[in-house]
Amino acid sequence: MILEFVLVALSLSLVHLSGIYLRYLAFRDDLPAADTRRLWQFLIILALLFIPLYTWIFSRTGIVVTTYKSTLFWGWIPFQAVFMLSLPNRILHHIFIFGMSVLWTFTIHSINTITTALFMVGAEEATVLLFYSGMFIVWYLLFLPLARHCFTSLLPAYSHFTRPAVQIYTSFLPIVMVTGYLVLINDDQLWHTWEERIARLLLPIGFFLAYHYILNASNRIYEQEQLQHNADIMKQEITYLEESRLLAADNREKIKKQQENLLKTYAELKILLQQGDIAGAQAYITQQEQVLSAAAIDSYTDYAIINAAISIYLHRAVALGITIIHKTNLPRNMGTDENDLAVLLANLLENALLASAKETGVKQITLILQHNGSQCVLEMANTCHTTLQLADDGLPKTSRSGHGLGMLSLKNFLEKYDGYADFSQETGWVRLSMYWEDKPPC
C-alpha cells in the first residue's frame, strides 16, 4: 500500500512542477542562466520534500477524493511563491501567466476526467485516483509541444495591452474565468455528470476564443498607435532636417559671400598698410573676424548632423531670450549612431525650449553631453515651474494631443542602446540624467 501512497504523492509533486514549468516558459527570456539554475534547484528540492509529506498525509487518510483535491488545490502555493520571488515587481504579469497556466492545467484535467470516466467506472476510489494521477502526466506530455508554443509567446502579446485599466482587466480575466468551476468541483465527489465534464472542457475553449478576439483587437489598436507615433516622429524629423538644410544653405551662402569679399579685404588691407595706417588695419581685421564667426551652424562636436541639431534649437532659444549653458565632449569614433543622437537631442531640446519659453522669470537651458569610457552621459535641465507629471515608466507624460514625441523618441533610444533615464523636478527646474552604452545599434 505504501507504494500507492508514494506514486500518488509523486504525481502530485509533478503536477505542481508542471504548472510552474508553463509559467517559467513565459518568463524564461527575463531570467539569466544563473538565476534559472538556482530557481529550478529550489523547485526540485521543494518537490522532493513534498513527496514524503504527501505520502504521510495519504497514509493517514487513505487515497480519497477529499485529500487528493485538497493537496491539488492548495499545494501549488509554495511553488508559486518561490517562482514569484525569483521575478519580483511583476505582479500583473504573474497574475496573468498564473491564470493562463491554471486554465491550461484545468483543460488537461478536464480531458483526463473524461478519459478516466470512460475506462474506470466501477473501480475502487483509490484505483481511480491512481489512474487519474498517472494519466494527467501522460496528457500533459502529449500537449507539451503546443503548451511551449503558446506560453513562450504570451508575454509579448500581453505587452500590447499598454493601458493600465486594460492590463488589469486582462491580468485577472483568466483566473476569474476558471475560479467559478474550481469552486464547484472542490468537493468530495469522485464522479460528476457528463454535462459537467463537457462544460468544463468547453470553458477553456470559449475563453481562448474570447481572448483571441481581445488580443487581435488590441494588436490592431497597438499597430494604429505605432503607425501614428511613427508618422508624428517622421514629421518631426522632416521638420528638423528641413531646418538643418536651410541653416546649411544659409551657412554656405555666408561662406560664398565671405569668399567674394576676401579679395576686397586683401585690397583694403593693402591700401591701409601702404598708407602706414596700422591701427586702421588692425581694426579692419577685428571687424572681419566678427563677420567670419557669425556662421549659423556652430561646431560643438565632430559630427555635422549633431552640430546642426544643437544649433537649430540653441539659436531658437537665444531668439526667445533663453540663456544657454552647454558643454559637449564626444569622441571622433563614437559608436552611437549620429542620426539617432541628433534626433534625440532635437526632441529633448524642443521640449526644454517650449517649457522654458513659458516662464516669466529666469529662462535657462543647460546641456552637458559627455563620453565616459564605454558610456555616454547626457544631462539636460531647463527652468520650469509647471508640475511635471510622470508616467508609470518614470518618463514625463502629457494629455495634450500632438505632444509626447520627445518621450517616444527617448524610449526608442533607450531600448536601442540599453540606456537609463531619470527625470526630476525641484526649485523650478526640470532635470534629465541619461546614460547609455556607446555601441553600434543592433
Percent of the chain with pLDDT over 70: 81
pLDDT of residue 425 exceeding 90, the answer is no
The answer to whether the CB of 159 falls within 8 A of the CB of 192 is no
Give the orientation angle of helix 33-61 with respect to helix 76-86, to 10 degrees: 170
Long-range contacts: 283-287, Cβ < 8 Å, 24+?
Answer: none
> Per residue in 234-275, pLDDT tens?
666 666 566 666 656 665 665 566 566 665 666 776 676 777
- Work out the mean pLDDT of the chain and round it to a whole number: 81
Question: Which one of 71-80, 158-167, 275-284 scores highest in mean pLDDT?
Answer: 71-80
pLDDT confidence of 188, banded at 50, 70, 90?
confident
C-alpha cell at 382: 531647463
Provide CB contacts within 8 A for 401, sequence distance 6+: none
Please tell me the pTM assigned to this model: 0.55
pLDDT number for residue 199: 81
- Tell me the domain boundaries of the chain: 2-192, 299-442
C-alpha cell at 8: 500518488
Candidates 245, 242, 238; CA nearest to 405 is 238
User: What phi and psi, each to the nearest 5 degrees, are found at residue 436?
Assistant: -155, 160
Is residue 70 packed enough to be buried (19+ CB in 10 Å), middle (13-18) or exposed (0-12)? middle
Amino acid at 48: L
pLDDT number for residue 131: 93
Candidates 417, 439, 231, 178; CA nearest to 333 is 439
pLDDT confidence of 193, banded at 50, 70, 90?
confident
Rounded average pLDDT over 185-214: 79
- Cell 524642443 appears where? 350
pLDDT number for residue 16: 93
For residue 368, CA distances in Å to 239, 309, 339, 436 come to 24, 14, 18, 14
Measured distance CA(318)–CA(321) in Å, rounded: 5
pLDDT number for residue 296: 47
Candidates 167, 164, 180, 19; CA nearest to 100 is 19
Measured distance CA(285)–CA(41) in Å, rounded: 79
> Per residue in 309-338, pLDDT tens?
888 888 888 888 898 888 888 888 888 888
> Per residue in 24-65, pLDDT tens?
999 988 888 888 999 999 999 999 999 999 999 999 999 999
> Per residue in 207-232, pLDDT tens?
777 777 777 776 677 677 667 766 66
The answer to whether the CB of 101 falls within 8 A of the CB of 22 is yes
pLDDT confidence of 200, banded at 50, 70, 90?
confident
Query: What CATH architecture does domain 299-442 belong to?
Result: 2-Layer Sandwich (3.30)
pLDDT number for residue 240: 57
User: What phi and psi, each to the nearest 5 degrees, are found at residue 297?
Assistant: -95, 115
pLDDT confidence of 17, banded at 50, 70, 90?
very high
Question: Which one of 138-142, 224-228, 372-376, 420-424 scores highest in mean pLDDT?
Answer: 138-142
- Cell 487581435 appears where? 216
For residue 224, CA distances in Å to 48, 164, 168, 235, 238 come to 50, 18, 22, 16, 21
> Per residue in 387-417, pLDDT tens?
887 776 667 765 444 445 567 778 888 888 8
3-state secondary structure labels for all residues of the chain? CHHHHHHHHHHHHHHHHHHHHHHHHHHHHHCCHHHHHHHHHHHHHHHHHHHHHHHHHHHHHCCCHHHHHHHHHHCHHHHHHHHHHHCCCCHHHHHHHHHHHHHHHHHHHHHHHHHHHHHCCCCCHHHHHHHHHHHHHHHHHHHHHHHHHHHCCHHHHHCCCCCHHHHHHHHHHHHHHHHHHHHHHCCCCCCCCHHHHHHHHHHHHHHHHHHHHHHHHHHHHHHHHHHHHHHHHHHHHHHHHHHHHHHHHHHHHHHHHHHHHHHHHHHHHHHHHHCCCHHHHHHHHHHHHHHHCCCCCCCCCCCHHHHHHHHHHHHHHHHCCCEEEEEEECCCCCCCCHHHHHHHHHHHHHHHHHHHHCCCCCCEEEEEEEEECCEEEEEEEEECCCCCCECCCCCECCCCCCCCHHHHHHHHHHHHHCCEEEEEEECCEEEEEEEEECCCCC
pLDDT number for residue 39: 93
> Per residue in 72-107, pLDDT tens?
889 999 999 999 998 888 898 999 999 899 989 988
Measured distance CA(28)–CA(431) in Å, rounded: 36
Q: Which of residues 373 and 11 earns the better pLDDT score?
A: 11
pLDDT of residue 289 exceeding 60, the answer is no
Measured distance CA(371)–CA(402) in Å, rounded: 33
Measured distance CA(125)–CA(66) in Å, rounded: 11
